[in-house]
A and B are shown apart, each in its own frame.
Chain A
Amino acid sequence: DMKVTQMPRYLIKRMGENVLLECGQDMSHETMYWYRQDPGLGLQLIYISYDVDSNSEGDIPKGYRVSRKKREHFSLILDSAKTNQTSVYFCASSLSTNNQAPLFGEGTRLSVL
């Protein structure tokens, strides 16, 4: 069954703590994405990865970094989380062809207190 899996689903952290969000897929998709979703703003791209160790910034990369050491796994890291990083984070993946619609994970709801 084709699926993008995100862990954890819910996370509460204190300001200044480090945060690791994980995403996995079993479809051998080359391209993976991290988005954040805030009310009224739709989905904003944080980072895009074209394959292992081939990552590019999206529209809002500040305060985030990513790691992709295996094709099936893509991590989002917040070093010293800030309260304005409270959001819902979505991971997605797709084949590397232009007309492929990315498949989304279920999201991770992060609260930074």
Chain B
Amino acid sequence: AQSVTQLGSHVSVSEGALVLLRCNYSSSVPPYLFWYVQYPNQGLQLLLKYTTGATLVKGINGFEAEFKKSETSFHLTKPSAHMSDAAEYFCAVSMIKAAGNKLTFGGGTRVLVKP
């Protein structure tokens, strides 16, 4: 069975500073990897995903993530935080050979952006 660990349930950054959210997964085989964002009182929106190919993935709103197989990690970064980035972020995996896209999520990291 796969699992996802997000280090840090809360992260506080200053506007304009680097955003770094950590995600590690545990799986017998490399899975597909996703980052979702959840704004207050809303559902989840896909930021980016890794399936195959280039390990550095660019997503929406200036976010990117790098898949490192040797470290079983998929950390999310953004060079310069905006106030609008304040939200909760979830890392998720799904298994390549599984039928359907059943997602296993981490516990989430809430980002606070200080002016």
Decide if A and B are genuine partners. no
B residues lining the A interface (CB < 8 Å): none
Interface residue ranges, A against B (CB under 8 Å):
none
